[in-house]
Amino acid sequence: MSKPTAHSEYGKLRSILLKRPRDGFISDEVIAEQWQSHGYLAPPKFEQSTIDFELLEDLISRTGTAFHYLKDSRDVTIDSVYCRDAAIATDFGMILCRMGKGHRKNEPNEVRKYFEKTGIDILGEIKAPGTLEGGDVAWLDQNTLAVGHTYRTNTAGINQLKTMLEPRQITILNVELPHYKGESDVFHLMSILSPVDKKKAVVYSPLMPIYFRNELLDRGFELIEVPDQEFESMGCNVLAISPGECIMAHGNSITKSRLETSGCTVHEYDGTEISFKGSGGPTCLTRPLLREA
C-alpha cells in the first residue's frame, strides 16, 4: 500500500497548493505597476494568463489530486503566483520560508494564514538573518533534502533548516551554486534539477557543481540533460505529477524527446504568459503538499 508523504518530488500527487493568476496578477493594471520593478521580461497578459493556467490545472488534475488555493491579497505582489517559494513541505509539518527577494517578504505570512485556517501543520519558520526559498529545495529521497546556497537562500537559512530537520534523521545536502547572472536573477537549485521519477532527474549540467552531479550519479540517478538552447526557456523546470509522468512548458522539444526516450510521459502547456515572462515554470507555480510514496 502506498502512503502519503511530502518527501518526494515525483510520487503521484495527492494534494497541491496553487495561486491562480486572477488572484496573483489581479489585473492588467496591477501587472503594469509591478512587472518592471519585479524583474519580469515583459508584462503578462492577464486574460490569457488565466486561460493558460486553467490548462495547467487540468493537466495536474489527471492524478485526482486535491487542490488548495491561495486567494487575492494586496499584502503580496504578482510574484505570489510562484507559490512554491514561500514554504517547504515535510512529513513533520510545513516550514515557512523567509524570502531572499525583498518584494516577496510577505508571502510566507500569506501561506501561514492559509495553513492555520485549513489546519495544515506548521513545523517552523526561517527567521532573520536567514533566507530560504522553496525553489532552492528538492527531495532526492525520503531522507535526503538537497538545498541550494544561492542569492535567495543563505547560510543562516540553511543552518536553521538543518536544526529543524537533522534531529529528525533528514540529511541536508548543501549545494553551492554559482554567481551566474547575479543577485537580481532568479536562479534556484530547481533551475538546474527536476526529479521526475525514482533515480531519474532532468538536469542542466553546465551550472551544476561537479560534486553534486557526482553525488547524483553515485546515488544511481539517470540524468536527462537539458541542451544549452533550452535552458533559458525553462527546459529544466519540469513538474512530475506521478512517477515518470510530467508537465513542462511548450517549446523545449529536445528535452521533451529525451524525457520520452527515457520512458516518461510528457504533457505541455503554453508558458508564454505565466512562465516565461516571470521566469517561473511549473514547479514554481505549484507547491505540492503530499504525494504517494
pLDDT tens sequence across 85-98: 999 999 999 999 99
CA distances from 275 to 26, 87, 248 (A): 16, 20, 10
pLDDT at 270 over 80: yes
How many folded domains does the chain comprise? 1
Cell 524570502, residue located: 99
One DSSP character per residue, 158-173 reads HHHHHHHHGGGTPEEE
Q: What percent of the chain has pLDDT over 90?
A: 96
pLDDT at 1 over 80: no
Q: How far apart are CA 14 and CA 291, in angstroms?
A: 5
Average pLDDT for the chain: 97
pLDDT at 107 over 60: yes
Give me the domain span that covers residue 21: 4-292
Q: How far apart are CA 220 and CA 171, in angstroms?
A: 17
Q: How far apart are CA 188 and CA 151, in angstroms?
A: 9
Neighbours of 183 (CB within 10 A): 11
Tell me the helix, strand and coil percentages in the chain, rounded to 5. 35, 25, 40
Q: What is the pLDDT of residues 244-265, one digit of tens each?
A: 999 999 999 999 999 999 999 9
How far, rounded to the nearest angstrom, does the alpha carbon of residue 89 sit from its chain's CA centroid? 11
- Pairwise pLDDT comparison (273 vs 186), residue with the higher score: 273
CATH number at residue 192: 3.75.10.10
Q: How far apart are CA 178 and CA 170, in angstroms?
A: 25
pLDDT at 280 over 80: yes
Q: Which amino acid is at 154?
A: N
Neighbours of 71 (CB within 10 A): 12
- H or E element at residue 247: strand 245-249
Neighbours of 27 (CB within 10 A): 11
Q: What are phi and psi of 279, to 5 degrees?
A: 60, 45
The pLDDT-based confidence of 287 (bands split at 50, 70, 90) is very high
The pLDDT-based confidence of 182 (bands split at 50, 70, 90) is confident
Q: What is the pLDDT of residues 40-77, one digit of tens each?
A: 999 999 999 999 999 999 999 999 999 999 999 989 99
Q: How far apart are CA 117 and CA 63, in angstroms?
A: 25
Per-residue pLDDT at 184: 82
Q: How far apart are CA 132 and CA 99, in angstroms?
A: 6
Q: Which amino acid is at 1?
A: M
Q: How far apart are CA 272 and CA 279, in angstroms?
A: 10
Per-residue pLDDT at 114: 98
Buried b / exposed e over 245-281, threshold 16 CB at 10 Å, is: bbbbbebbeebbebbeeeebebbbbbbbbbbbbbbbb
Q: What is the pLDDT of residues 184-232, one digit of tens each?
A: 888 999 999 999 999 999 999 999 999 999 999 999 999 999 999 999 9
